[in-house]
């Protein structure tokens, strides 16, 4: 099943790359504005060896992970609190729904004022963008914990904190993990956008800006963008695999193996 999935996924990529190549080679578009896919892939291959580009990737990955980690550390406890105390949950609901759709990019001016270094600016914006998917997933997962499961431990005389720890958190965990996975993809998009807009020393977004200076190299820009895509794909695959292993019970239940 997985082999088939990988094969199909690869086939889809090959078809799209082939189509792009054909469009460019046939002269339907100008070769400098859309270079042939083969050229882009060749440049992407070269970039993998390029020390400077790797420094950029390293900077992006570091800010990405740190921003995401900060968001997890803040959003999970907050979500648990708001999800398990109905009064707080109701009181915060409007605020959460109000802040959630505000795009991080809109907060760039504020973040540049608040933080001196671009790295801090970037991380604060990732933090903001990641906070909501994790917070909302945690909050709803806690609210939706099966009352029968909670009553079971309550009837055995377990205290409310014990029920939270032994029932609510484990049963909410798969949904929290999904929130983190969604946040990871969002964070990458936000990070590269802010790098493009804010600037800084190193980062994939900075590299992309540099490719456009002095004549502009679309092939290099697209090659860099490819690597950003690969990072996103790797993160998503790794997190999905982690979820499958850690929450086998959840997958088994959802897929109805029982």
Partner 1 sequence: MLAITGLTHTYTGGHTALDGLDLTVPDGQLLSIVGPSGCGKSTLLRCIAGLIRPTGGTLEMDGAPVDGVPDDLAVVFQDYSRSLFPWLTVRDNVAMPLRRRGGSRAERRAAADEALESVGLHDAARKYPWQLSGGMQQRVSIARALAYRPSLMLMDEPFGSVDAQTREDLEDLVLGVHRTGKMTILLVTHDIDESVYVGDRVVVLNRSPARVHADIPVGLPASRDQIETRGLPEFVRLRAEVGRLVRGGARVPGAAPADGLPADRGPDADGQAETGAG
For every residue of 55-106, DSSP letters joined together read HHHHHHHHHHHHHHHHHHHHHHHHHHHHHH-HHHHHHHHHHHHHHTTS-GGG
* Nearest CA-CA partner of 220 in 32, 60, 61, 57: 32
Among residues 151, 160, 238, 244, which is the contact residue for partner 1, using CB under 8 A? 151
- Near partner 1 in 131-150, by CB under 8 A: 146, 148-149
Could you give the CA distance from residue 252 to residue 30 in angstroms, rounded to a whole number? 51
Among residues 32, 90, 117, 152, which is the contact residue for partner 1, using CB under 8 A? 152
The dihedral sign for the CA sequence 132, 138, 139, 140: positive
Contact status: 171 vs partner 1 (CB under 8 A):
yes
Could you give the CA distance from residue 253 to residue 178 in angstroms, rounded to a whole number? 16
- Near partner 1 in 26-45, by CB under 8 A: none
Could you give the CA distance from residue 99 to residue 150 in angstroms, rounded to a whole number? 31
Q: Which stretch binds partner 1 (CB under 8 A): 65-73, 135-143, 170-178, 208-216?
A: 170-178
* Nearest CA-CA partner of 228 in 71, 47, 52: 47
Could you give the CA distance from residue 12 to residue 20 in angstroms, rounded to a whole number? 13
Q: What's the closest the beta carbon of residue 84 comes to partner 1, in angstroms? A: 17
* Closer of 98 and 156 to partner 1 (Cβ): 156
Among residues 154, 189, 196, 236, which is the contact residue for partner 1, using CB under 8 A? 154
Residue 48, SS3 per DSSP: coil
Q: Which stretch binds partner 1 (CB under 8 A): 3-11, 72-80, 156-164, 203-211?
A: 156-164
* Closer of 140 and 158 to partner 1 (Cβ): 158
Residue recorded with tokens 């604060």: 124
Q: What's the closest the beta carbon of residue 242 comes to partner 1, in angstroms? A: 15
Contact status: 253 vs partner 1 (CB under 8 A):
yes
| Site residues (vs partner 1, CB under 8 A) | 146, 148-149, 151-158, 166-167, 170-171, 173, 247, 249-250, 252-253, 257-258
């Amino acid at each position: 099943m997985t082999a088939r999935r990988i094969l199909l996924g690869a086939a889809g990529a090959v078809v799209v790359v082939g189509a792009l190549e054909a469009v460019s080679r046939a002269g339907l578009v100008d070769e400098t504005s859309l270079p042939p896919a083969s050229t882009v892939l060749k440049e992407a291959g070269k970039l993998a060896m390029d020390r400077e580009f790797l420094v950029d990737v390293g900077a992006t990955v570091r800010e990405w992970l740190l921003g995401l980690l900060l968001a997890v550390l803040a959003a999970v406890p907050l979500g648990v609190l708001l999800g398990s105390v109905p009064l707080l949950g109701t009181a915060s609901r409007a605020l959460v729904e109000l802040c959630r759709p505000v795009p991080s990019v809109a907060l760039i001016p504020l973040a540049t004022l608040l933080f001196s270094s671009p790295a801090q600016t970037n991380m604060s914006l990732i933090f903001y963008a990641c906070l909501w998917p994790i917070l909302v997933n945690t909050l709803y997962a806690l609210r939706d914990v099966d009352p029968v499961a909670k009553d079971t431990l309550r009837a055995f005389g377990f205290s409310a904190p014990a029920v939270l720890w032994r029932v609510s958190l484990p049963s909410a965990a798969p949904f929290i993990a999904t929130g983190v996975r969604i946040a990871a993809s969002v964070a990458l998009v936000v990070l590269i956008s802010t790098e493009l807009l804010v600037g800084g020393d190193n980062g994939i977004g900075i590299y992309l800006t540099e490719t456009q200076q002095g004549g502009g190299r679309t092939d290099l820009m697209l090659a860099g963008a490819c690597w950003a895509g690969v990072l996103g794909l790797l993160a998503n695959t790794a997190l999905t695999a982690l979820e499958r292993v850690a929450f086998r019970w959840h997958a088994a239940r959802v897929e109805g193996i029982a």
